[in-house]
Amino acid sequence: MKGFIAHSKASKEVLKIATLSASLRVNCLIFGPKAVGKSHLAKVIAPDAKAYSALDLQEQIRAKAVDLNTVNEVIILDIHKIDAVGQIVEFLENSNIKVVATATKDKDIYSKYFQAKIEVLPLKDRLEDVEYLKQEYIKEAKRVFLIDEEISQDIECDLSNNAISLKKSIFRSILFDSLTKSDIANILENYLQKEIKSSSYKELLPIFEVPLLKAAQKEYKSQLQMAKHLEINRNTLRKKMIENEIN
C-alpha cells in the first residue's frame, strides 16, 4: 500500500490542500494523531525530499554531519519531539530549503515557522478510508498467512490507535479464525511450559477460565443462560465472574 489514502470527504480535502502546497514555496506543518497518514501526505507535498526524524536531524545539524547543499526540500518527522524547532527551521530556511514537518498536535510556536498547516483527522472520522484500509489489510493478511479462501468481513476493527490498531485487529482476527483446536492446544502448551515453573495451578487457571466466561457472556448475555449452557451452578458462576472481575 502506497500513498495517502483519500476516500473520505475529509481526506480528499486534505489531499487537495497538500497538492496545492506542493507548488508553493512555503513551509508546511501536517499535524494529527499517530498513524493517520501524515508521512504519506508529506510525500505528496515534497515527493523527492528526504525524510528525517526530528531527533536525528537535530543531532546531525549540531554535529555538522548533514549535507544540505544540494537539497531543496526536507521532510521532518515528529517535530514535536524536539524543543529546538525554531533553530532547525531557521537553519534550513537560511539554506533556502523548504520544510515539510509532521507533528501530533499544532502549537502556537509553529505559526512563526510554518505558513501552511494541514490537520489529518483520526480514522474514526474517516470511515470511507477505514473501509479501504480494511480491504487492503485483509489482502495482506491472506498473503502472509497463505490463505486462499474468502475471508469473513465481519471483523471488529479497532481504531483506538488508528492504522496501527486497525491492522493488528484485522491480522489477529484472521489468524485466530485460521487456527484449529490442535493449534490452540499447542500454543497453550508452549505458553504454559514457560509459565508453569513460576506459577501455581490456581494462578494459571484464569488463562482458561476467563476467556471461556467472557465468550459465554457474549454468546448468551444473561448469567442464567450462561449457567444453563455451561452446565454450572448459577451461584458458582456468579462467584467466578466476581473473582475474575467480569462485569
CATH number at residue 13: 3.40.50.300
User: 43 and 144 in one domain?
Assistant: no
Considering its fold, how many domains does the chain have in total? 3
pLDDT given for residue 174 in this prediction: 94
- 200 in a structural domain: yes
**Residue 71 burial (CB count, 10 A):** 16
Tens-place pLDDT, residues 32-61: 999 999 999 999 999 999 999 999 999 998
The answer to whether 7 touches 107, Cβ cutoff 8 Å, is no
pLDDT given for residue 1 in this prediction: 59
pLDDT given for residue 67 in this prediction: 81
Tens-place pLDDT, residues 106-133: 999 999 999 999 999 999 999 999 999 9
Residue 190 has φ and ψ, to the nearest 5°, of -65, -40
Q: Of 121, 139, 155, at which residue does a domain stop?
A: 121
User: 230 and 173 in one domain?
Assistant: no
Say if residue 220's pLDDT is above 70: yes
- 225 in a structural domain: yes
- 201 in a structural domain: yes
- 1 in a structural domain: no
Tens-place pLDDT, residues 61-104: 888 888 888 889 999 999 999 988 998 999 898 889 999 999 99
User: 135 and 112 in one domain?
Assistant: no
- 4 in a structural domain: no
**Residue 218 burial (CB count, 10 A):** 8
- 2 in a structural domain: no
Tens-place pLDDT, residues 153-208: 889 999 999 999 999 999 999 999 989 999 999 999 999 999 998 999 989 999 99
Task: Please give the residue range of the domain that contains residue 150.
Answer: 125-178
Task: Give the pTM.
Answer: 0.82
CA-to-CA dists, residue 7 to 20, 37, 169, 189, 203, angstroms: 18, 13, 21, 45, 48
The three grid cell numbers given for residue 9, joined into one nine-digit string: 470527504
User: 116 and 22 in one domain?
Assistant: yes
Q: State how far the Cα of 160 lies from the Cα of 120, in Å rounded to an integer.
A: 15
Average pLDDT over residues 146-157: 90
